[in-house]
A and B are shown apart, each in its own frame.
Chain A
């Protein structure tokens, strides 16, 4: 007896009887179905399209198709001056504009070899850590929605609203700030800003615990994420993963610690990695837990920054901003730890023009998403949703 496979017809079991093939039994002919998940789908977090080949509920293959939100960031950058790129960087990862601006400002400052006033550095860290919390709140909240829990999402948005209010107070905008400029800041923070931030930190601590109780301690939530979408550490590194994704796989790697920039070396915080007690290292739950811990670490960083920040006397947030930004010829690859991972800017200057010859944004989501094909193989559709949610993509950054 032998098994013959005919494509698309199900398997047929046959036996050989005196040179004749006799069909013993025939499975029900099953077909694989091509399922286009997105670009308009509630849980692809924007306009991602996944072309899934499904066998019932099981995904045989999921191929991500990008580009629906491609806004020619890199082409635009080649046509505007260095400072004019800052607003474009906001639109990369629109959930964490401050961090993107920070990363870009760092890159140009490295190229220019600029010295930044200390107060500017602290304010930058405070606003970008606030933005990190806001971004993680969206990540955690939408992850809840992906798994069917609606309420945590609104709790997250309630608290995010306060952060956005604070950032709006400082910069005048709620999402696309244009606040961190090359060599300085658009404005100093308002008078009572730091006091309010401290109040927020005190307010948010218990709320973060409540959020954790609602999600991480929920049996169904744990069942849906525990052991799903496991990514081993070495493969994660090979895939170029960074940020909470890489830490979720158990690699203690945080650019704020391992490749420090700004005032991070002076600040004491913990790099969150899963301990393997609550989750399988590298699964969706680990990544979720890492984000949750990171929010609390960000609170710690903010508190330390408020303690250490120099007084605003005689401070001009634009004092170090060069009149004309024309770096000497050279290249730089500079990166910063964004909520979603490593946001790097590769800048090439020819030394003559005030525009970069080449500006490439190395987006963390783009790289993290590239592992989707491997991660999704053989998963159920609900698990696929859980995996996409745990990658926490922002399509603005993927497609640029």
Chain B
């Protein structure tokens, strides 16, 4: 097998975009994980996430105007939950980059970016619904897919389904 692998366009573009962010924020962001499928970096100081988000959206060479997806993820081994956001500069520069933000499993907070990208509003509600991290500054943080009075956060790895819900037996 040949180990000399051409670096794909995706990685090149993402690396270029990452450098700009890294120059601005330095220690607040981690190094770029330049894998082939989804290059991403992590926001280490989650408190600066909104600032980074705004920078990503508005900087002339970044222009990440489109948040394609935001997925909540559970990291039980690190004791954290987090979000993975996939960005693209839609119809402008067309580069992509992914960002991870993590917080503590118990009562952790991530600043909400729903004011930066409207689409984050429902994505954050969904992440809160299924993973239980708090998005500070979110306009209406409540459950979206599960009923409002559901117990627990279903997509956490240690989730145990509740016995009864309004007198109805849940696990069957």
Do A and B touch (CB < 8 Å)? yes
Q: Mark B66-79, 1 if CB is under 8 A from A, else 0.
A: 11110111100000
| B38 with A67: CB separation less than 8 A | no
Chain A residues within an 8 Å CB radius of B46: none
Chain A residues within an 8 Å CB radius of B94: 258
The segment from B12-20, B47-55, B102-110, B144-152 that touches chain A is B144-152
| B144 with A67: CB separation less than 8 A | yes
Chain A residues within an 8 Å CB radius of B68: 240, 333, 335, 342, 344, 362
Chain A residues within an 8 Å CB radius of B126: 366
| A239 with B119: CB separation less than 8 A | yes
Whether A74 contacts B65 in the complex (CB less than 8 A), given A67-B145, A237-B90, A252-B91, comes out as no
Q: Report if A370 contacts B (CB, 8 A).
A: yes
Smallest CB separation, B160 vs chain A (Å): 13
Q: Report if B30 contacts A (CB, 8 A).
A: no
Q: Report if A251 contacts B (CB, 8 A).
A: yes
| B154 with A72: CB separation less than 8 A | yes
Chain A, residue nearest B98 (CB):
A333
Complex Cα–Cα for A362 and B118 (A): 15
| B145 with A400: CB separation less than 8 A | yes
Whether A66 contacts B145 in the complex (CB less than 8 A), given A72-B154, A234-B65, A331-B38, comes out as yes
Complex Cα–Cα for A74 and B155 (A): 8
- Taking residues whose C-beta sits less than 8 angstroms from the other chain, chain A's interface range is 35 or more
| A346 with B91: CB separation less than 8 A | no
Q: Report if A256 contacts B (CB, 8 A).
A: no
Q: Report if A253 contacts B (CB, 8 A).
A: yes
Chain B, residue nearest A367 (CB):
B119
Q: Report if B35 contacts A (CB, 8 A).
A: yes
Interface of chain B residues 91 through 132 with chain A (CB within 8 A): 91, 94, 98, 117-119, 121-123, 126, 130
Whether A111 contacts B37 in the complex (CB less than 8 A), given A239-B119, A258-B94, comes out as yes
Chain A residues within an 8 Å CB radius of B117: 238, 240
Q: Report if A278 contacts B (CB, 8 A).
A: no
Interface of chain A residues 356 through 370 with chain B (CB within 8 A): 358, 360, 362, 366-367, 370
Q: Report if A121 contacts B (CB, 8 A).
A: no
| A74 with B130: CB separation less than 8 A | yes
Whether A240 contacts B38 in the complex (CB less than 8 A), given A258-B94, A333-B69, A362-B68, comes out as no
Partner of A330, one of B37, B65, B84, B119: B37
Chain A, residue nearest B71 (CB):
A360
Whether A333 contacts B66 in the complex (CB less than 8 A), given A74-B155, A344-B86, A346-B84, comes out as no
Smallest CB separation, A72 vs chain B (Å): 7
Smallest CB separation, B106 vs chain A (Å): 20
Q: Report if B41 contacts A (CB, 8 A).
A: no
| A362 with B69: CB separation less than 8 A | yes
A interface, over-half SS: mixed
Smallest CB separation, A249 vs chain B (Å): 11
Chain A residues within an 8 Å CB radius of B155: 74-75, 78, 358
Whether A346 contacts B69 in the complex (CB less than 8 A), given A67-B145, A253-B90, comes out as yes
Smallest CB separation, B116 vs chain A (Å): 9
Partner of A348, one of B73, B130, B145: B73
Q: Report if B135 contacts A (CB, 8 A).
A: no
Complex Cα–Cα for A218 and B40 (A): 50
Q: Report if A224 contacts B (CB, 8 A).
A: no
Whether A371 contacts B154 in the complex (CB less than 8 A), given A70-B146, A253-B90, A342-B68, comes out as no
Q: Report if A381 contacts B (CB, 8 A).
A: no
Smallest CB separation, B1 vs chain A (Å): 12
Whether A358 contacts B145 in the complex (CB less than 8 A), given A239-B118, A370-B122, comes out as no
Q: Report if A101 contacts B (CB, 8 A).
A: no
Smallest CB separation, B114 vs chain A (Å): 10
Known contacts A330-B37, A348-B73, then 10 further A-B pairs from the complex at CB < 8 Å, ordered by chain A residue: A72-B154, A239-B118, A253-B90, A330-B35, A333-B68, A333-B98, A358-B71, A358-B74, A362-B69, A366-B122
Please report B residues at the A interface, Cβ cutoff 8 Å.
35, 37-38, 40, 65-69, 71-74, 84, 86, 90-91, 94, 98, 117-119, 121-123, 126, 130, 143-147, 154-155
Please report A residues at the B interface, Cβ cutoff 8 Å.
66-67, 70, 72, 74-75, 78, 110-111, 234-235, 237-240, 251-253, 258, 330-335, 342, 344, 346, 348, 358, 360, 362, 366-367, 370-371, 374, 399-400
Top 10 nearest A-B pairs (CB, nearest first) are: A240-B119, A360-B71, A362-B69, A332-B37, A370-B122, A346-B71, A67-B145, A70-B145, A333-B86, A239-B118
